């Protein structure tokens, strides 16, 4: 079914305002919302990743050295340390549904913010929502997605299922929207 | 018992756009899983010896919670939705102990905590995260701990403990039913990953109020915790997805069975809704859709490319799966079979 642009916008706003994502439970965020909620937006490549217990031996944390190639928001050093909840240490596996791990060598655009602890690390804004993988399409276009390229919603009252196109876009589009959001 | 219509097939993959059939995407339940071999995995689940599963609650409410029903009652109801599911052998203690823990870092190993005011998991008011569940398991997928944390201060939203309570104290905020979020998180607590069935409680995006299970949720929980005496007989649909023309196997395709009849084998259960049921293919292209009640089914395969994609399903993170360490395939289109 083709949907007109005004209808798409209306549908998008209706869905975003009317539903909750449970990915782990998150509210779908726009590029602009992610930018506003982040202190840093950076493009680059994970170099190294490892997991370890916290000092209390109660949580497993995964750290990633992320080489920054471009900073779209904030003054980022050449290397930032990204911290994610969960990981594998020995035979113990801690899983957090919806948390997408960074893979060394796989380009990404990350929306980052400080976490609870002031330890120099940054956490990804909105869990997987602020983690965009970058890939090159067959025609050479750089595409980014945060794993939520399309979203469907179910209306309990009507039984209707609707969907809209989400955060699956060209890299230059994402950069443009981040820059505009920073300027506002 | 009416025989299942079992379909075993190979899917020819034709990239010509003219042959694409656009359909509404639906995907199957997917358990959290741990690989045990080249084409084998074990479902992450609590061991039978751990049941009834003990859990604790810090009943302290955050300022984001409103409503007259106690949070303990809400969480008990959410647990009961799963533990009373038909064909399922699963139990938790009905009256939880209380805890004063307010920091995830202080949760002792082996403690299963539900907390509404906890720090330590990097919640932010403005990043859209409402709750998260974390599970601990061993290399064999045996769960030993699960903790559920609700964001104490989500922006522009409140949790309501009574579906009929009316709205948020702050005008303009969105009301989110607490039991809806809790029911989804408890699915993770028991070892389920996200589903792509839009009507499933384990679908990554839920409506503001939905507290019942779908056939897909039921298939997941009854497969992980099967009853020795199922009230509704269930079976399996098996087959293989291959790529034409060379017949190479397709890994991590979403395959699901969709009933072609008006039959509703679980009609006697008010909290179960009819939906498709399915699974993912293994590296050798094989699949087994479990938890399927007797009926006639249309079986369909779709690429793992949205709305649930390789980043949303633990199996497919992000290009290689931790379970099978193999690239998933999405280079084919949806077709009816």
CB contact under 8 A, A147 and B311: yes
Ranges of each domain in chain A? 5-183
Ranges of each domain in chain B? 17-42+229-336, 48-190
Mean pLDDT of B188-201: 82
* pLDDT given for residue B316 in this prediction: 36
**Contacts for B56 with CB less than 8 Å, ≥ 6 apart:** B96, B97, B98, B99, B101, B111, B112, B113, B114
- Higher-confidence residue of A165 and B88: namely B88
DSSP B139-199: TT-BEEEEEEEE-SS-TTEEEESSTTS---SSTTPEEEEHHHHHHHHHHHHTTB-----TT
* pLDDT given for residue B205 in this prediction: 66
* B142 in contact with chain A, both atoms CB, cutoff 8 A: no
Cβ-based contacts of A181 with chain B (< 8 Å): none
Distance from the Cα of A77 to chain B's closest Cα (Å) equals 22
Q: Which of A13, A16, A21, A22 to mutate to test the interface with B (most CBs of B within 10 A)?
A: A22
Cβ-based contacts of A97 with chain B (< 8 Å): 32, 132-133, 188, 193-194, 314
Mean pLDDT of chain B: 79
**DSSP SS3 for B84:** coil
Mean pLDDT of A87-99: 88
* pLDDT given for residue B206 in this prediction: 59
> Is pLDDT above 70 for B333?
no
- Higher-confidence residue of B102 and A15: namely B102
Q: Which of B26, B78, B129 to mutate to test the interface with A (most CBs of A within 10 A)?
A: B129
pTM of structure: 0.82
pLDDT in tens, B208-258: 788 999 999 999 999 899 999 999 999 999 999 888 778 888 877 778 888
Of A128-137, B15-24, B80-89, where does mean pLDDT reach its minimum?
Answer: B15-24
Of A26-30, B44-48, B313-317, where does mean pLDDT reach its minimum?
Answer: B313-317
Distance, CA of B95 to CA of B79 (rounded, Å): 11
* pLDDT given for residue B317 in this prediction: 34
Q: Least CA distance to B207: which residue of chain A? A: A19
Mean pLDDT of B188-205: 80
CB B177 within 8 A of CB B162: no
In this prediction, does ipTM exceed 0.90?
no
CB contact under 8 A, A98 and B312: yes
């Amino acid at each position: 079914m083709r949907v007109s642009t005004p209808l798409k916008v209306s549908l998008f706003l209706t869905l975003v305002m009317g539903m909750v994502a449970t990915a782990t439970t998150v509210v779908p965020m726009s590029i602009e919302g992610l930018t506003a909620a982040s202190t840093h937006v950076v493009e680059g490549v994970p170099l190294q990743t490892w997991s370890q217990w916290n000092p209390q031996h109660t949580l497993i944390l995964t750290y990633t050295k992320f080489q920054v190639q471009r900073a779209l928001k904030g003054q980022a050093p050449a290397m930032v340390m990204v911290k994610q909840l969960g990981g594998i240490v020995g035979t113990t596996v801690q899983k957090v549904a919806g948390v997408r791990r960074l893979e060394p060598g796989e380009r990404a655009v990350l929306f980052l913010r400080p976490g609870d602890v002031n330890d120099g690390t940054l956490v990804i804004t909105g869990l997987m929502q602020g983690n965009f993988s970058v890939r090159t399409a067959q025609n050479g276009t750089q595409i980014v997605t945060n794993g939520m390229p399309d979203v469907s919603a179910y209306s309990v009252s009507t039984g209707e299922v609707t969907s809209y196109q989400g955060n699956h876009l060209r890299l230059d589009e994402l950069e443009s929207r981040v820059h505009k959001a920073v300027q506002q | 018992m009416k025989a299942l219509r079992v379909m075993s097939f190979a899917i020819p993959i034709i990239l010509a756009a003219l042959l694409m059939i656009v359909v509404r995407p639906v995907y199957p339940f997917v358990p959290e899983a741990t690989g045990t071999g080249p084409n084998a995995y074990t479902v992450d689940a609590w061991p039978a010896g751990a049941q009834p599963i003990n859990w604790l609650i810090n009943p302290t409410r955050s300022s984001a919670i409103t409503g007259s029903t106690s949070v303990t009652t809400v969480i008990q109801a959410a647990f009961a939705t799963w533990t009373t599911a038909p064909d399922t052998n699963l139990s938790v203690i009905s009256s939880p102990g209380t805890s004063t823990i307010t920091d995830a870092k202080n949760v002792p190993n082996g403690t299963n905590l539900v907390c509404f005011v906890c720090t330590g998991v990097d919640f932010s008011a403005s990043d859209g995260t409402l709750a998260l569940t974390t599970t601990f398991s061993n290399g064999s997928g045996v769960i030993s701990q699960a903790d559920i944390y609700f964001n104490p201060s989500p922006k522009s939203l409140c949790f309501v403990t009574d579906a009929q309570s009316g709205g948020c104290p702050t005008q303009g905020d969105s009301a989110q039913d607490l039991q809806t979020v809790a029911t989804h998180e408890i699915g993770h607590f028991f070892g389920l990953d996200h589903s792509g069935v839009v009507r499933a409680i384990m679908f990554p995006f839920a409506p503001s109020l939905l507290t019942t299970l779908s056939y897909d949720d039921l298939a997941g929980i009854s497969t992980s915790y099967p009853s020795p005496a199922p009230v509704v007989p269930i079976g399996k649909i098996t087959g293989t997805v291959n790529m034409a023309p060379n017949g190479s196997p397709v890994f991590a395709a979403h395959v699901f069975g969709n009933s072609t009849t008006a039959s509703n084998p679980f009609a006697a259960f008010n909290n179960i809704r009819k939906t498709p049921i399915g699974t993912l293919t293994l590296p050798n292209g094989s699949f087994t859709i479990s938890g399927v009640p007797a009926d006639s089914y249309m079986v369909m395969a779709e690429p793992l490319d949205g709305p649930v994609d390789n980043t949303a399903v633990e199996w497919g993170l992000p290009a290689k799966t931790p379970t099978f360490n193999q690239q998933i395939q999405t280079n084919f289109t949806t077709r009816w079979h």
